[in-house]
Amino acid sequence: MSLIVRNISSIREEWRQLMKKKIKKTKRKNQYTLPYKFDDEIQDVKQKDDSLLIVQNIPSTIPNNNVFRLKTNIQFSLEISKDYSLGQLFVDPHSNNYKIVRIDKRKNLIILTLDQIDRPITPPEVLYSIFRDRSSELAKAFMQYNNRNLDPTKCKQHTMQEMVDFESKIQGKPYAVYVNTYKDGIWKTFQKIFNQEQLKIYAISEEMLFHYCNETKLIPVSAFFDQNDKQLNVFYKMFKGIVGQQSIKRDYINYNGEQFTASLIVQCFFIYDKEKDILFDYTYFVTDCDQQWLSEMKVKQNELDYFNIKPNSCSTEESSFQEQLKRCGFKVLNQK
């Protein structure tokens, strides 16, 4: 079985087992427990009204004028913004229509489970006219991608063994996987999955990713979106890469804002699940880049900066270790 499918299945089974469990809280009984009498005399007593103030940290969301939901589940952003981003990374266009509801770690994989935001569906003709005003090639690539997803029966279906063979070829390379499902004429993204090498492309640690995703419910992405590019060339390349199942050259950016160009291999696997009557699309984005962009030291340094941790090196003759001290807003003055 595929590594991706095996770990997804384990999460589903874990969730099923949790749903079966019944939480029963026993009432504590002791000599001080007194029965409460529900007689008329007590009920007539005027009780004081209590007001409860709930303070909740509401996660940031994408502006509505930048959101379009399609039956074909094509994600993009007309207006590029770095608001609420993780460092210098951009926000994944999937965050327009999805929020993170669960984060799992399975060995070398980080799995983000997504929930779709309820929005009205936009007709593809509306977007085609918008794209056409920017670039005819972009509009054409969009319609090719949209038409492919409208009739998934025309897509070549794969076997699980083909997926396993592909994963063996990309072992050790950075990649991300989008798990999409098709049912009742609508595509949805169920999960986005990273391996540890992909986090090195971002120049972030898994702890940074967990904290950011929990705080914002947004998904980071390594693609560089030029805010001055009105023709949206990056989306044109991605649409062409997905439809053509081909390698493309893409501009990247990491947490530190360093930009570089690398090859991006796009590979989709359509696998039909007869038991669930659902068509799955596993879309792999595999990066082929120089080793300098996979620096573990840079990841460690960024983690210290992100969590505002100051390293303090301490050593003795018998041992050597590094203690991490959190910075604080005051200092102790020497008393004379």
For the stretch 42-62, pLDDT in tens is 455 445 444 444 334 444 444
CA–CA separation, 203 and 300 (whole Å): 9
pLDDT at 39: 53
Section 91-97 average pLDDT: 93
Residue 142's Cβ-count burial label (10 Å; 0-12, 13-18, 19+) is buried
Crossing angle (nearest 10°) for helices 160-169 and 3-20 = 120
Taking residue 321's Cβ as centre, other Cβ atoms within 10 Å add up to 8
CA–CA separation, 143 and 154 (whole Å): 15
How many helices (H) and strands (E) are present in the chain, helices listed first? 9, 11
Closest to 218 (Cα-Cα) out of 63, 100, 49: 100
Section 225-252 average pLDDT: 89
Q: What is the mean pLDDT of the chain?
A: 82
Closest to 202 (Cα-Cα) out of 104, 285, 101: 285
b/e for 282-297, b at 16 or more Cβ within 10 A? bbbbbbebeeebbeee
CA–CA separation, 326 and 1 (whole Å): 44
pLDDT at 140: 95
Q: Is the pLDDT of residue 41 over 60?
A: no
Q: Which segments of the chain does DSSP mark as H helices, in order?
A: 3-20, 40-43, 124-134, 136-150, 160-169, 196-202, 206-216, 233-244, 296-306
3-state DSSP helix/strand/coil % of the chain, to nearest 5? 35, 25, 40
Say which residue, 174 or 152, is predicted with more confidence.
Answer: 174
Q: Is the pLDDT of residue 103 over 60?
A: yes
- For 314-327, the pLDDT digits (tens) are 544 444 344 444 44
